[in-house]
Structure formats: C-alpha cells, structure tokens
C-alpha cells in the first residue's frame, strides 16, 4: 500500500504539467502511466504551438510550465505564423523530434521534480471515505485524496482502419479502463468523440523535388525564457508542401462505403476544423486541391507525417490515394492512418478548478475533457495540478481570467458549455485578442504566477521583466521630442508629424514597425533592455490606443463578469424562467461572466441578475 | 418595458373586448400543464391534440359559461414559445370578462400586462426586438404605410434586409477570423480578398438601410395635420367644418389632458390627427410666449402644417416667429368681408409660395372643390413620402445612422491597416451597433459559419 498527496493518471501533456507543478509545492506526487507508452508522447502531428496555441505555450512559460522547455529542447523547425498580419495574432510553432521530446520530458520529471513515475496499467479506482484507491494490473494499490485524470483518448478507445476495428488508445497501445469502471456516477457526454491520424510515409521514398521547401526560421525566438533567444538545441530541418488533386479525391470518393466514418461504423463526432481527407472529399465536392504538409517526426525516425490527409480508409485505399500526390508517387507507407473514437466527460460537471462538482478531489484535464491538441491539454493539466495542490494546502481556487489568457478562455468555455465536437483554441474565442498576445505573456500571467507563492527562478525572471517593462514604458510616456530633431528626423515618414510628441505616440504610428524603431532609439539613447521586454513594450504601445478604445467597455465587462453570483439563490428566483433555471442548475455558475456564456441563457435573465433584482 | 417579470401564467382577451362582436379570442399562456385549467373545461386534457380545433364548454361549478372553440399550441412551437391555449368565445364583453375572471380567480392566472405575450416571445427568442417593434407598429398603424411597414418588420422587406445585415456581418467577421486562424488553409491572398468582398457586401446593406433614414419620418406613425394662426383667424371654424366632413368613426382620443384639441379624421385610406392649436393659447392665461412656443413644437412634429390667416388681423411679429415652420398649405379667410383685396395686398408678397385656399368668414361654407383640393394636398404628401419607403422607428433610424458613419470610418481603416488584430478589434464597434439593432452574433456563430463554408484544417 502506497500513499500519495496527489495521483495523476496518464503521462501525456496534461499529466506531465499537472504532476510537475503539483510537486513544486513539496507534495508527494505519483504519475501513473501506461507501461509501453512514452511520457509526453506526440501520437499525431509533430509540432507544438500554432495560432492561439503558441500563446498558450508562452502562458505556460510565464506560469512555470514544462511544455515550453521541452519544446525548445526537441525543436527541429521554428516558424512565426501570421508574421505579416500584425503583432497581436503572431504565433510561434515548433516542429519537434518526437523521441527527443518524450525523453526530455521524462528526464525533466526525474531530474527537476520529485514526481514518482509509475509505469503500470490501472485496473480499478475506488473510493473509501474520502480516499481514492488506484489498483494496477500488477496488483499494487495506491491511495490518495486527490486524483487528476488525464487519460486522453484511452478511455474506451477504439481504432478504425477500414473494416479493421480494435480496442486501443492509439496504434500499438491498448485502451485503458472505461469511465464506468471508475465511477458509474460520472456523467460522460452521450456522444463519443473521434479524431484521426494520417498514414506515415517513409522518407527515403519521397521525391522532394516536387514539393515546396519550408525552412526553419532563424529569427523566431525560443519558447522558454532561460533559453538563449535564437539558440537551437537540435539541427534544424525543413518541411515540405505538396497538394492533393482530382485523382486523389476521386479515389476517396469512389470508396465512400469503405470509410468507417461514412458507412456508419463510427458514430462519434470529429472536429470540423481538423477534417480527415474523407471529410474534405465529401463535404467539399467541388474542391480537389488541398494542402499536404510533409513534416519530419524526428532525426532518428524514417517517417514523415503528411499533415492534411488523415484517414480511416482501408490500407489498400490509403496506398492508392497517397501515390496520386506529387512527390509521393513512389512512396511507401510505414504505418497506416486510423481514426480513434473515445469517451469524454461532461465538462459542465467540472468547476473552474477542473475539479468534479460531485466528487471532491477528482480532477480532469486534457483530451478526456473533449479538447484536441497537446497545448490545450498542457494548459488544463497545469490548472488542475495547481488546484489539487491548493486544495491540500487549504488555499482558494486557482483560476485565470479569460480576459488575461487563452488558458482562461479555454477552461471557462469548457465548464460553461457542452460541445458537439472536440474543442480547439482559436484566437476568435478570445474577446481580448489585441491584449492576449505571445509577447506580453509574462505581463499577463505574472499576478497568477505570484499567487502560487513559489520563489523559483521563473519568478525572479518574471519580476525583472515586469519591472523593466514598467520603467521602459514610463520613459516612453515621458520622453518628448520634435520630429525635426536628431535622430528622429531620419525616421522615414516622420515629417507627417509636425509637433512635439512623446515616444509612445511615435510607436503608435501605423506605418512604423514599433519594435525596430524602439530598438533603434534605445541604441541611440544608450539604454539597454532585454530583447523580450523591448519587443513587448513596443507592441503594447502600438496597441495601447486601440485597446483603450475598447477598454472602457472591457472594464465594465470585467467588473460585471467577475461579480460573484449565488446560483442556489437564482434557482429560487421568481424572475427567471424555468428553462433558464434548468441550465443554471446544470452549470452552477459562480460568476456573472460564466452565467452569461451559458448557451441559451436569456437576455432577460442576465438583466435580472446584473440588476441584482433576484 | 419593465424587464423584471414573473413567469406566472397569464390571460387576456386578444381581440377588442369592449364592444360586442361575433367572436372574442381569450388567450392563456405560460401554464406548465393542464391541471389548473382542466376543471373548467368539458374536454379532458388527454383528448386535446396540439394545433387542433376542439369544440367544448367552459364550466364553472357545473354551470356552463359558454360554448367555445379551443386550440392548444404547446411550447415551444407557439407564438411566444410557451404553452398557449386559445379560446374563441362568443363576443359579448360581459361574457368574455366572466371567462377571464374565472381563470384568474380559480386557476391561478394573472391578467397579462400590455404587450406581455409579445415580451415573452422576445424573451424566448421567438421574435427579435425589431419584430416586436414591428408588431407594435402593425397593431397601432394609422395609415396603410405604417401597416405595411410594421408587417415588413415581422416578415417582409425589412425583416429580410435585417437578416441580410446579420448575414453579411457574420460573413465579414468570419473572413477576419479566417485570415487570423486559418490562412494556411485558405491562402493569404484569398483570405484578404474575402475580407474586402465581404466588407463591401456588408457596407452595401448598411448603405441601403441608411438611404431609408435620410429624413425623419417618424411623424408618419401618428400623422398630425396642424392648424396654426392667430386667434380669430378662423382655425376652429375650419377645424369643425373639416371634422363635419371627415370625422373618423373612432372618436376623440381619450385619456390624456391636452392643451389643444385633436380629432382623428380619415382622408382617403389613411387616418390623421387634426390639431387645432387654438386651445394652446386660451388655456395659458394669456401667456402669449408659452402659447406660441407650444404651437411651434406641435408644428415641428407635425406631418402637414396649415397656416390660417385673416388679412384683417395681420401681426407681422407673430408671422416672423413662425418662420422656421415649413407650411404645406395656407388658408386665407374672410374673403367675403369688405376691403379683403386691399387688406391682402400688402401681406400676400410676404407669404410662402405654396398652395392657398381662400375661404369666406363662415368656413363651414367650404366648397366641394375646396375640400377635394385639401384632401389631394394631404394625400399627395403622404404618397410622396411613402414612395421613399422610409424607416419609421426612431430607435432604428438613430442606430442605422450611427452604423453608417462607423462603416465609413472602418472603410478608411481597411485602406490603411494590414494589422488584422487592429482590424478585428475595431470591428467589434460595428458588431456592437448591429447587435443593438438586431441581436447578438456570438463567437460560436462565427466558427460555425467558417466550418460550414470553408474547408479548414490540416
């Protein structure tokens, strides 16, 4: 019999973050994970970050998370997405060496934390009084008052390749216990979710001369603050772009009845934003050209991940359609694509802390909550880990406002609504996109990290960052100049401004790149500030006016949104309709903002609550 | 309307219950089940089929109150989204009242507040705010145009135009999101093109709407014909003789105290409110200024202004004060008094060059032709305004004008900016204004729209 403060079940991206941060509070943490699955493995696309997701990784970095560190260590290609579209929506994406990633993650847990990794298959979980008992197939029993479930797609997982169906969480791995075996009372979504992965192509059989090369961007900065800005741990590689054509889509359309997703073999719902090649073929009948990105999976792997053609068609059809794609005519497939369907919990039964409303001490994070993506999983894992620790330490719930972060947006969206498809972060989900950026992640998350009351290197870095940010920002507000003065007169287009103004106003001018200008000016003034601070200050100044325009409104929203409400009082109110009450009872909203985002809640109910007229 | 409401079951007579008619419709809404109603009907609730007409009796303590036809519309497929029961009862006001009282006293219903059925429809998203406004316009329409206009809010041109406004706004917002989140899938150039095209479509709808708001036509909702002039000019005589000819069947407007006299009259197909400003002055203890001010403000909100002049009592000071009012017609009275031409001669050049009708002292001796030409002038003005299909509701006019100027500044921004963060942040301003007009577009709507129309995702 072994006793732990916290047990994390599942060693994926959510589990790693949850166990790592929980162990920082000097608690005894066990991470129980399947024996033949690597820690923090990346079973699908070989990359971390992307639009909206890069922001999450930067947020994790400011919070002291693991993902940004490992992503840098395993990074084999860096890119800045949306580079031409303004600073607010720019995001970092890193292609990773999957093997290095898994190794580094396990090494990190062993060397940097006191998490105990247990590689075993969980057979059963039961509850005795307020203590959970986790039994593994080796016959061992683990006890804890806090359990964090991060079991990903392994919950009742079933894999489909054509008519071939097998149980499993992913190729080559068995599935884990079903949710009923854990607690029959925990409500699942009645719908199962589905995701898929493409066939993997042997590198040496690809003709790259027929594809467009995409090189690693040397100027994209690392995720993690303590890594040298532009330094790389591994040799950088290229990705390649090719496209499907009429023939490709023709083969798929001819074999509709063999696709498990279209012949009724799979009932689960997949994400519309991550369609399989069958989805693309049948939903967009007039479109035959689709991008296919060929992405290396690691230096020591002989396969490419062809992003864009995930499929659950039978092996022979996969062979057929892959060979129609330019560059892949003579390619051979190493492993075939498949679809996986799995159970997800009903996240409206969770609190903002990700703790289950009915089972105290039970937390859920990651794909089991119906999200897709490694970054989404990691973000939830972090929040669940902190909350499990906080509840042991007797501290209040830890939650991050949606106005400050994408992690906050995601968790609040999850607990406020049920969804009919896997949830992925898009920048469109944030109301505050001009403020929730990669460059100012430290500034945004600083208060939340401070509330953990951990005095670690990341905290020293954050404090320095914020201090420098504030002093530099003040200098820019108070330093006035005239456009005719040196060196300002050399700035292109400066004669449009023929009055004295401060440096902040200069950076706001739409035709200037604020980062370049600020670097130049600081150089001239002989002031030295860290690169990341200069960048963040410059971009913040540029958007200050626009954010200000919305901020009056936003401030009101923030105040109102954070207003605590008592749902139990709402259910007795005479002024709220029956249907709204049903929804309120289901979600049990704690703040006005949460209430507001419940789907189908009526304007009249909101005005009743906002006006305090219960 | 008061937003704080209760969910009690409500009851009201939906037809005019004050005068006898063949049928009155009593409407019951918001009951959870038939339990409280069943004891008072001769039909069992299990026999009531949704949307079928059932013949039955309304019973109070084994006493039959009336034979009625009953139709049940279960929630949510009813006018306001609640359970609704409609009873067609015999149209005797007393009987109708008795039936209503029965349900109020014994079945726990409450008399509905004015507009409460529709308010519940709004609350349950069965009607949009603009539809409720349209309904109000429709029910209270005094002229053919307001009637059509109200209907067009509910399901006609305007409703379509508003739907189009919402649709183009959604498409435009989606195009911004596609460039931000999915330009890998669509291609950057295509994504920018989408933005330009969808903004153009959106702004065209806005421009179309704003062309209907160029003047303030809200006076069409209650079209006033206002008679202005000095005491003894002949206003009241004209007022009375116009009434004699055209008095509307529905008599004077009750319930409010006024300093002026108003009567509803019918000219051709439309109802107007004829206003005699005579009362203004007389009731104000000869405080001339106050009287004139009030006449002026009446004239400003009036549809058709008539100046009445007695050339023998010409007061240039008074006339100057009326300068800002644009008149549609002048009545010149006392044509049969001796020296009329001489009295009129110095005045005539000062008068605005508009239609004039010359009347004798006894204005009741309006000739048939004179009546016809008065009616023609009023109708002509009405027709010319209606042909422009103006928007009648002030709230809509104001919001559309605001939206119009916001669209102009956004269009400028779109020329200068390539920063999608800024473009989408400033877009929120447009979105908020559209939301004020017709309702809210949620981020989920946007994502749904994107996924249903574009092939997204790797």
Evaluate if residue B252 carries a pLDDT over 50.
Answer: no
Nearest residue of B to residue A51 by CA position?
B181
Cis peptide before A178 (omega within 30 of 0): no
- The residues in B 100-129 lying below 8 A from A, measured between CB atoms, are 123-125
Say yes or no: B208 contacts chain A, CB-CB below 8 A.
no
Residue of B nearest to A613 (CA): B4
Q: Which residue of A has its CA nearest to B185?
A: A291
Residue B220 contacts residue B393 (beta carbons within 8 Å): no
Q: Specify if A158 maps to a domain.
A: yes
Quick check: B436 contacting A, CB < 8 Å?
no
* Beta partners for residue A142, in sequence order: A2, A134
pLDDT value for A390: 97
pLDDT-based confidence at B116, cuts 50/70/90?
confident
| pTM: predicted TM-score of the whole model, two decimal places | 0.75
How far, in Å, CA of A79 to CA of B308, rounded?
Answer: 81
Do A340 and A176 meet the contact criterion of CB atoms below 8 Å apart? no
Beta strands (DSSP E) in A324-448 are 333-335, 338-342, 362-364
B179 in contact with A at a CB cutoff of 8 Å? Answer: yes
* Residue A406 and residue A506 in one domain: no
Say which of B3, B6, B457 has its CB closest to residue A574: B6
Give the pLDDT of residue A297.
95
pLDDT at residue A327, rounded to an integer: 96
Q: Is A585 helix (H, G, I), strand (E, B) or coil?
A: helix
B197 touches A at CB < 8 Å: no
In this structure, the number of other CB atoms found within 10 A of the CB of residue B374 comes to 23
CB A388 within 8 A of CB A363: yes
Please check the confidence at residue B285 and state whether its pLDDT lies above 50: no
Phi, psi of B87 (to 5 degrees): -110, 120
Cα B298 from chain centroid? Answer: 19
Residue A529 sits in a domain whose CATH number is 1.10.10.1800
What is the number of H-type helices and E-type strands within chain A? 19, 22
- Same domain, residue pair A407 and A468: no
Residue A95 domain-assigned? no
Contact: A291, B425; criterion CB under 8 Å: no
Beta strands in B257-391 (DSSP E): 261-267, 270-276, 304-309, 329-332, 356-358
Does a structural domain hold residue A388? yes
Residue of B4, B180, B418 lying closest to A51 (CB–CB): B180
Q: Is residue A60 part of a domain?
A: no
In a domain, A412, yes or no: yes
Of residues A86, A543, A575, nearest to B420 (C-beta): A86
Judged against a pLDDT cut of 70, whether residue B452 lies above it is answered with no
Interchain contact, B180 vs A429, CB within 8 Å: no
Of B6, B181, B184, the CB nearest to A52: B181
Give chain A positions within 8 Å (CB) of B420: 82, 85-86, 88-89
Q: Where are the beta strands (DSSP E) in A169-230?
A: 193-197, 200-202, 212-214
Q: Which of A79, A248, A426, A511 to mutate to test the interface with B (most CBs of B within 10 A)?
A: A426
Residues A108 and A187 both lie in one domain: yes
- State the smallest CA–CA distance between residue A373 and chain B in angstroms: 13
Its sign, for the CA torsion A454, A457, A458, A464, is positive
- Whether residue A376 sits in one domain with residue A352: yes
By residue range, what is the domain housing residue A574?
Answer: 567-611
Can you give the pLDDT at residue A27? 96
Check whether residue A592 and residue A556 sit in a common domain. no
Is the backbone of residue B240 left (phi > 0), alpha (psi -120 to 50) or beta? alpha
Q: Does B26 score more than 50 pLDDT?
A: yes
Chain A residue numbers with beta carbons less than 8 Å from the beta carbon of B179 are: 85
Q: Which residues of B touch A574 (CB under 8 A)?
A: 6-7
**In a shared domain, residues A397 and A529:** no
The torsion angles phi and psi of A289, rounded to 5 degrees, stand at -100, 115
Chain B residues whose CB is inside 8 A of the A603 CB are 123
**Cα(A471)–Cα(B335) distance, integer angstroms:** 87
Give contacts of B192 with chain A, Cβ < 8 Å. none
In this prediction, residue B417 has a pLDDT band, given cuts at 50, 70 and 90, of: confident
Residue A588: CATH number of its domain:
1.10.150.570
Q: Which of A534, A561, A588 is the last residue of a domain?
A: A561
Q: How many CB atoms are located within 10 Å of the residue A374 CB?
A: 28
Identify the pLDDT of residue A268. Answer: 81
What pLDDT is recorded for position B363?
53
Structural domain contains residue A209 = no
Contact of B244 with B265, CB cutoff 8 Å: no
Tokens of B332: 């010149």
Could you tell me if B354 lies within 8 Å of chain A, comparing CB atoms? no
Least confident of A178-192, A334-348, B208-222, B302-316: A178-192
3-state secondary structure of B411: helix
Q: Could you give the number of structural domains in chain A? A: 3
Residue B281 in this model has a pLDDT that exceeds 80: no
Q: Determine whether A392 is exposed, middle or buried from the number of CB atoms within 10 Å of its CB (0-12, 13-18, 19+).
A: middle
Q: With both helix axes pointing from N to C terminus, report the angle between A531-562 and A457-478 in degrees, rounded to the nearest 10.
A: 90
Quick one: angle between helices A374-393 and A67-74, nearest 10? Answer: 140
**Pair A468, A533 in one domain:** yes
Residue B257 has what pLDDT? 35
Give me the residue from A88, A510, A577 closest to B7, CB to CB: A577
Reading the block at residue B130, the tokens are: 């603009």
Q: CA-CA distances (angstroms) from residue A288 to A270, A276, A317, B182, B246?
A: 21, 14, 17, 18, 72
Contacts of A311 in chain B (CB under 8 A): none
In this prediction, residue A358 carries a pLDDT of: 86
Decide if B446 and A82 are in contact by the 8 Å CB cutoff: no
> Å from B449 to nearest chain A CA?
11
Q: Nearest 5°: phi and psi at B2?
A: -65, 125
Do A581 and A470 lie in a common domain?
no
Higher pLDDT pick, A75 / B256: A75
> Helix B129-139 crosses helix B420-438 at what angle (to 10 degrees)?
30
With respect to residue A297, please indicate whether it lies within any of the assigned structural domains: no
Q: Which of A387, A407, A428 is the last residue of a domain?
A: A428
Do A575 and A531 share a structural domain? no
What's the pLDDT at B440? 52
Using alpha carbons, list the distances in angstroms from residue A17 to A23, A113, A155, A387, B48: 10, 11, 20, 12, 60
Q: Which residues of B touch A607 (CB under 8 A)?
A: 3
DSSP of A387-418, one letter per residue? HHHHHHHTPPP----TTT-HHHHHHHHHHH--
B4, B32, B417: residue with CB nearest A608: B4
CB B188 within 8 A of CB B164: no
Distance CA B277, CA B262 (A): 9
How far apart, in whole angstroms, are the C-alpha atoms of residue B206 and residue B168? 10
In sequence order, the β-bridge partners of residue A296 are A304
Count of pairs with CB atoms under 8 A, one residue in A, one in B: 120
Nearest CA in chain A to B413: A510
Below-70 pLDDT ranges, chain A: 174-185, 550-560, 573-579, 599-614
Checking if the pLDDT of B362 tops 70, the result is no
CB B64 within 8 A of CB B90: no
Same structural domain, A464 and A599: no
Q: Which of A85, A90, A337, A433 to mutate to test the interface with B (most CBs of B within 10 A)?
A: A85
- What is the predicted ipTM? 0.78
Residue A15 maps to a domain: yes
Smallest CA-to-CA distance from B236 within B331, B378, B344, B358 is with B331
Per DSSP, A188 falls in state B
* A422 and A462 both lie in a single domain: no
Q: Which residues contact A394 (CB under 8 A, 6 or more apart)?
A: none
Residues A32 and A136 placed together within one structural domain of the fold: yes
Q: How far is B29 from chain A (nearest CA, A)?
A: 14
Per-residue confidence at B91, pLDDT binned at 50, 70, 90? confident
**Taking the alpha carbons of B76, B82, B87, B88 in that order, is the dihedral positive or negative?**
negative
CATH code of A115's domain: 3.50.50.60
Q: Residue B370 has what pLDDT?
A: 85
Q: What is the mean pLDDT of residues B349-374?
A: 80
């Amino acid at each position: 019999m072994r006793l732990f403060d916290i047990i994390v079940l599942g060693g994926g991206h959510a589990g790693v973050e949850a166990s790592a941060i929980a162990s920082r509070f000097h608690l005894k943490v066990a991470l129980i994970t399947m024996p033949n699955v690597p820690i923090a493995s990346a079973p699908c696309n070989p990359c971390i970050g992307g639009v909206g997701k890069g922001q999450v990784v930067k947020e994790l970095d400011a919070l002291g998370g693991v993902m940004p560190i490992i992503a840098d260590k395993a990074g084999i290609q860096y890119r800045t997405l949306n580079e031409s579209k303004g600073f607010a929506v720019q995001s970092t994406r890193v292609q990773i060496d999957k093997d290095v990633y898994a190794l580094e993650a396990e090494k990190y847990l062993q060397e940097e934390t006191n998490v105990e990794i247990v590689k075993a298959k969980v057979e059963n979980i039961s509850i005795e009084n307020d203590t959970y008992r986790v039994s593994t197939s080796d016959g061992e029993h683990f006890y804890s008052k806090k359990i964090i479930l991060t079991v990903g797609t392994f919950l009742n997982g079933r894999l489909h390749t054509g008519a071939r169906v097998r149980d499993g969480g992913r190729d080559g791995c068995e599935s884990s216990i079903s949710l009923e075996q854990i607690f029959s009372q925990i409500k699942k979504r009645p719908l199962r979710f589905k995701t898929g992965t493409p066939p993997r192509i042997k590198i040496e059989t690809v003709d790259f001369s027929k594809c467009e090369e995409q090189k690693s961007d040397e100027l994209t900065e690392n995720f993690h603050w303590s890594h040298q800005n532009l330094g790389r741990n591994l040799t950088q590689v290229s990705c390649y772009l090719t496209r499907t054509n009429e023939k490709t889509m023709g083969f798929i359309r001819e074999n509709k009845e063999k696709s498990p997703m279209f012949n009724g073999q799979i009932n689960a719902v997949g994400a519309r934003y991550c369609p399989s090649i069958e989805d693309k073929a049948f939903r967009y009948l007039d479109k035959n050209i689709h991008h296919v990105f060929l992405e290396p999976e690691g230096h020591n792997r002989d396969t490419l991940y062809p992003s864009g053609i995930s499929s659950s068609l039978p092996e022979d059809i996969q062979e057929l359609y892959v060979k129609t794609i330019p560059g892949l005519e003579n390619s051979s497939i190493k492993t075939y694509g498949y679809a996986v369907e799995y159970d997800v919990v009903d996240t409206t039964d969770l609190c903002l802390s990700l703790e289950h409303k009915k089972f105290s001490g039970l937390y859920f994070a990651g794909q089991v909550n119906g999200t897709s993506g490694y970054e989404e999983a990691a973000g939830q894992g972090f929040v669940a880990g902190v909350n499990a620790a906080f509840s042991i330490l007797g501290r209040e719930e830890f939650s991050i406002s949606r106005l400050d972060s994408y992690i906050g947006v995601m968790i609040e969206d999850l607990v406020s609504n049920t969804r009919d498809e896997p949830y992925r972060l898009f920048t469109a989900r944030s109301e505050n996109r001009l403020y929730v950026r990669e460059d100012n992640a430290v500034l945004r998350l600083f208060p939340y990290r401070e509330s953990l009351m951990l005095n670690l290197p990341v905290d020293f870095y954050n404090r320095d960052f914020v201090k420098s940010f504030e002093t530099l920002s003040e200098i820019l507000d108070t330093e006035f100049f005239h456009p005719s003065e040196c060196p300002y007169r050399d700035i292109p287009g400066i004669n449009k401004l023929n009055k004295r103004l401060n440096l902040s106003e200069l950076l706001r001018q739409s035709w200037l790149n604020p980062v370049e200008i600020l670097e130049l000016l600081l150089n001239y003034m002989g002031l030295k500030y860290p690169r990341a601070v200069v960048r963040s200050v410059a971009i913040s100044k540029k958007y200050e006016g626009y954010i200000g325009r919305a901020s009056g409104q936003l401030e009101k929203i923030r105040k109102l949104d954070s207003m605590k409400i008592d749902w139990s009082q709402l259910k007795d109110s005479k002024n709220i309709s029956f249907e709204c009450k049903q929804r309120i009872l289901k979600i049990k909203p704690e703040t006005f903002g949460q209430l507001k985002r419940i789907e189908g809640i009526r304007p009249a109910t909101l005005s009743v609550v906002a006006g305090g007229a219960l | 309307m008061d937003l704080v409401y209760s969910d009690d079951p409500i009851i009201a007579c939906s037809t005019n219950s004050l005068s006898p008619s063949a049928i009155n419709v009593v409407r019951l809404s918001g009951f959870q089940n038939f339990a409280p109603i069943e004891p008072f009907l001769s039909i069992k609730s299990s026999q009531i089929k949704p949307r079928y007409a059932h013949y039955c009796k309304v019973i109070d303590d084994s006493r039959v109150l009336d034979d009625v036809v009953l139709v049940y519309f279960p929630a949510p497929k009813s006018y306001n989204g609640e359970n609704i029961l409609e009873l067609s009862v015999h149209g005797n006001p007393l009987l109708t009242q008795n039936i209503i009282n029965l349900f109020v006293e014994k079945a726990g219903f409450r008399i509905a507040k004015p507009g409460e059925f529709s308010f519940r429809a709004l609350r349950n998203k069965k009607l949009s705010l603009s539809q409720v406004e349209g309904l109000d316009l429709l029910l209270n329409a005094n002229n053919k145009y307001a009637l059509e206009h109200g209907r067009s809010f509910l399901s006609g041109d305007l409703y379509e135009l508003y739907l189009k406004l919402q649709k183009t706004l959604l498409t435009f917002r989606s195009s911004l999101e596609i460039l931000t989140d999915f330009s890998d899938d669509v291609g950057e150039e295509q994504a920018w093109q989408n933005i330009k095209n969808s903004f153009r479509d959106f702004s065209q709808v806005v421009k179309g709407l704003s062309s209907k708001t160029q003047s303030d036509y809200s006076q069409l909702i209650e079209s006033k014909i206002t008679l202005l002039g000095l005491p003894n000019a002949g206003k009241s005589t004209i007022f009375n003789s116009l009434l004699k000819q055209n008095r509307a069947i529905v008599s004077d407007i009750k319930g409010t105290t006024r300093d002026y006299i108003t009567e509803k009259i019918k000219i051709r197909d439309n109802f107007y409110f004829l206003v005699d400003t005579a009362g203004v002055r007389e009731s104000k203890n000869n405080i001339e200024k106050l009287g004139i001010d009030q006449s002026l403000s009446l004239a400003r909100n009036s549809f058709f202004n008539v100046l009445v002049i007695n050339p023998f009592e010409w007061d240039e000071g008074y006339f100057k004060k009326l300068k800002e009012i644009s008149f549609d017609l002048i009545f010149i009275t006392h044509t049969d008094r001796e020296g009329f031409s001489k009295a009129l001669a110095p005045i005539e050049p000062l008068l605005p060059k508009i239609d004039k009708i010359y009347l004798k002292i006894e204005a009741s001796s309006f000739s048939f032709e004179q009546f016809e030409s008065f009616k023609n002038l009023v109708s002509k003005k009405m027709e010319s305004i209606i042909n422009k299909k103006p928007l009648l509701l002030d709230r809509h006019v104001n919001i559309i004008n605001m939206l119009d100027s916001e669209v102009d500044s956004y269009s400028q921004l779109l020329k200068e900016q390539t920063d999608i963060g800024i473009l989408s942040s400033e877009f929120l301003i447009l979105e908020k204004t559209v939301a004020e007009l017709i309702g809210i577009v949620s981020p989920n709507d946007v994502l749904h729209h994107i996924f249903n129309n574009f092939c997204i995702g790797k």
